[in-house]
Amino acid sequence: MTGFPQHPNYVGLNRPLGEEYDLADLVIEGEVPAEVEGCFFRAVPDPAFPPFMEDAGAILSGDGMISAIRFADGKASFSIRYVETERHRAEAAAGEALFGKYRNPFTDKPGAAGLDRTVANTTPIWHAGRLLLAKEDGRPYRVDPHSLETLGSYDFGGKLKSQTVTAHARIDPESGELFMFGYEADGLASTKLAYFIVDSDGNLTRELWFDAPYCSMMHDFAITENYVLFPIYPTSCDLDRLKAGGDHWVHHPDVDSWLGVMPRYGEVSELRWFRGPKGVSCYHMMGAFEDGQGQIHFDQCLSDSNAFPFIREASGIALQQWELNGRLARWTVNYAGGPDEVAETVIGPPGDFPIIPAARQGRYYDHGWMLTMNPEMRGPPVAGGPVGAMFNMLLRLDFAGGPPQALALPPAHSINEPVHVPAAEAGREGWLVAVVDRQIGPDDFAHECWIVDAGNVAAGPVARVHIPHRLRPQVHGWWVSAAQLEAAA
């Protein structure tokens, strides 16, 4: 790929690749566990055309690609395809970028007018036999899980009213219902939130609309067995700024955060807002649960400012990445009584990409996993991704009093978000599967897919699948078992 600027968004691990390809019968060191039978779907942004204006936020605008690492009978294969969004098709037809700044249509070329701006680049979501590729600025795209062919923008059979659906969905492990929401649901800079429920057969059964305290970048949310939780952090959008060609997001250190709590099947009148600390920011929640004593606990990778350098820069905030006071923070509230403010407890280190077993979604979890930066690392982290530095340590956190476990990667290695593959029987924790990058030169990388015992991450990989091709940083992934894939065939 040529013509891209010498900007961190487009060099090294972030260098655009723009290639669709398939790799069969990958070389494997070690043995793939029998339980790892299925497909690891990955969302990988990769800009197809050089930008026509300076925009550091473009790191989030790379065209969505859907990648699949398939495991069958101890063997592995790899595929990657563009998500054929309306945007990608229009730019491919024009042979150049038509869309301007991240989430600012006022900066687009005339050829982009009226077209869907989403790049569907953030999360592959599997539900009711469908594979969706979601990004928070638009509706998801549906992709064929076998061929990776794009089937088009997805509106749940015409039922969805929201113009946006976030990339973070929560599935109740007992009912199989999918809980989702969209912000800026009726347009740019709007305070309108849409919350909706999709039943286990894929039917959208409910969509509620209400107002957020202000327009906020709401990347993720959480559910408990009886409640849905909407976090509001003061990274906000302003329509006049957009019209003037400015950035979508500015972070406001002096503005309150909020946690909205509503019964899952309740009405908007039952929504209760709890005030949180000023100026904080979070992209991902580990989960949330009720403790039986009326308390709701909400666990998140929180920091004192926005974790994305390009947003801090647009906001005039001079803090460096290591000055953000990152932490795994538990906010506790009592819906039925208690104060109108959250109570915060720090339960883990700085980091991101928190995960729990799918079977614990909305329930108490006594352990979870996340990525962090090795505090004892010798040498710099691998540069890449929207923060500018990739994680280099995988953690298993024990919330029942046990010690944390850490898998420290060697120097010049980085790790992308793992997926969890559950164990077939109780007593074991299953496996974590993640792509690991190794920098072997200024613009040279080798990539492997590691399989790690989820209950013993410090032991390192039991299998390493070599991927003999350059890869770009992944955003999120989703594990779909062979049985789920077969049922959907």
Is residue 261 within 8 Å of residue 271, measured between CB atoms?
yes
Nearer of residues 274 and 283 to ligand V55, judged by Cβ: 283
Residue 21 Cβ vs ligand V55, minimum distance, rounded to whole Å: 22
How many CA atoms lie within 13 Å of 460's alpha carbon, on the beta-carbon side? Answer: 6
Q: Which is nearer to ligand V55, 71 or 310 (CB)?
A: 310
The smaller minimum CB distance to ligand V55, of residues 104 and 121, is found at 121
Residue nearest to ligand V55 according to CB distances in the complex: 60
Q: Which is nearer to ligand V55, 297 or 476 (CB)?
A: 476
The HSE-up count of residue 189 (CA atoms within 13 Å, CB side) is: 14
CB of 294 to ligand V55, least distance (A): 33
Which lies closer to ligand V55 via its Cβ, residue 117 or residue 367?
Answer: 117
Using the minimum distance from each CB to ligand V55, give the nearer residue, 301 or 454. Answer: 301
Task: Give me 357's structure tokens.
Answer: 């077993």
Q: For the CB of residue 311, give the shortest distance to ligand V55 in the complex, in Å.
A: 10
- Can you tell me the distance from the alpha carbon of 62 to that of 325, in angstroms, rounded to the nearest whole number? 29
CB of 102 to ligand V55, least distance (A): 7
- The Cα–Cα gap between 103 and 187 comes to 11
Distance CA 132, CA 171 (A): 14
Phi, psi at 86, each rounded to 5°: -60, -40
Which residues make Cβ contacts (< 8 Å) with residue 308, sequence separation at least 6?
Answer: 386, 387
- Strand runs labelled E in 335-476: 343-348, 352-355, 367-372, 383-384, 388-389, 393-398, 405-408, 413-415, 419-421, 431-441, 444-453, 461-467
Contacts of 463 (CB under 8 A, 6+ apart): 28, 29, 30, 31, 32, 33, 36, 450, 451
Least distance in Å: CB of 422 to ligand V55?
25
Q: How far is the CB of 60 from ligand V55 (least distance, A)?
A: 4
Residue 73, judged by CB atoms within 10 A of its CB (0-12, 13-18, 19+), counts as exposed
Residue with Cβ nearer ligand V55 (139 or 219): 219
Q: How far is the CB of 453 from ligand V55 (least distance, A)?
A: 27
Cβ count near 252 (within 10 Å): 17
- For residue 487, the number of C-alpha atoms closer than 13 Å in the C-beta half-sphere is 13
Nearer residue to ligand V55 within complex by CB, 60 or 212: 60
Q: C-beta of 90: minimal distance to ligand V55 in Å? A: 19
Nearer to ligand V55, 197 or 242 (CB): 242
Check if the beta carbon of residue 348 is closer than 8 Å to that of residue 397: yes
Give Dmax (Cα) for the chain. 60
Residues near ligand V55 (CB under 6 A): 45, 60, 121-122, 135-136, 219, 283, 475
Q: How far is the CB of 53 from ligand V55 (least distance, A)?
A: 18
